[in-house]
Chains A and B, each alone.
With several copies, the nearest count.
Chain A
């Protein structure tokens, strides 16, 4: 069993209104010094050891993200 983390982020050239809304709100709440925020999704999967990296990449690319608009990263944590 391993824990696998997949992070999915909007591509840099795609407008990210959620991140922007956070960035705009921070100074209003008195937090300065944060120049940019982007918001994406974070998945944590409990994965059988039999599942290989190629399969994980397929899941991340073909299902958890949409390559038209998003990039992803896959990380295994622990074993």
Chain B
């Protein structure tokens, strides 16, 4: 199975995401922001970083990159897409996920080992977790505060599309402690914390993040 990992100018966690894909047993395929097609991949990871410096607004410039056209098209067709941090911000800007991510309530960049509850295990990226599982993976961002209109949040909650929730403290003031959400069909998932930094206890707080990259293997095979 091939999983594409996109690099925009300013993407930082692409090598980590590719490593996580490898650890999970899949083949990472490097996708460049200027690519017009997805090189035959079965799923796509939009990794973290500061694409285009995040100067205007996190994700605002990257969403217009050529590679995003096939990504949006494939996602609408059911291809699994995972947006991590800046990737999540890009997916929101691109309209694949609702809401927006604003400056952390504390106004500082926050990097900490964060406990998350897995609220939904029927997405392409969380099938391997137990319902309600608590996992520890790093959160690190400047603009991680999830915000949306009340009706949007009600819809997300009502349809069970909140995939991850912060527990033991909300690092950025997100509405409803929301750390990650999914599209209605559960194929597109975006989250602020970084599963690709939690694949090995040597270099991360746990190996809990590997579950996301493993889950997608099952979801595509099925």
Contact = CB atoms under 8 A, between A and B. Distances in A.
7 contacts: A14-B102, A14-B147, A15-B102, A15-B173, A21-B55, A25-B61, A28-B64
A17 B105 contact: yes
Interface string A43-75: 000000000000000000001101011000000
Contacts of B19: none
Nearest to B106: A17
A69 B100 contact: yes
Contact of A18 (B55, B99, B100, B147): B55
A68 B103 contact: no
B148 interface: yes
Nearest to B152: A68
A29 interface: yes
Interface in A22-36: 22, 25, 28-29
Interface of A: 10, 14-15, 17-18, 21-22, 25, 28-29, 39, 63-64, 66, 68-69
B53 interface: yes
A75 to B, nearest CB: 19
B56 interface: yes
By size class, the interface of chain B is: 20 to 34
Nearest to A19: B55
B103 A18 contact: yes
B35 to A, nearest CB: 15
A17 B107 contact: yes
Contacts of B98: 68
B55 A17 contact: yes
Given A18-B53, A39-B55, 17 more contacts: A10-B102, A15-B102, A17-B53, A17-B105, A17-B106, A17-B173, A18-B55, A21-B61, A21-B107, A22-B56, A25-B56, A63-B56, A66-B57, A68-B92, A68-B99, A69-B100, A69-B102
A64 B60 CA distance: 8
Interface string B113-131: 0000000000000000000
Contacts of B55: 17-18, 21-22, 39
Contacts of A25: 52, 56, 61, 64
Contact of B147 (A22, A64, A69): A69
Nearest to B95: A68
Nearest to A21: B55
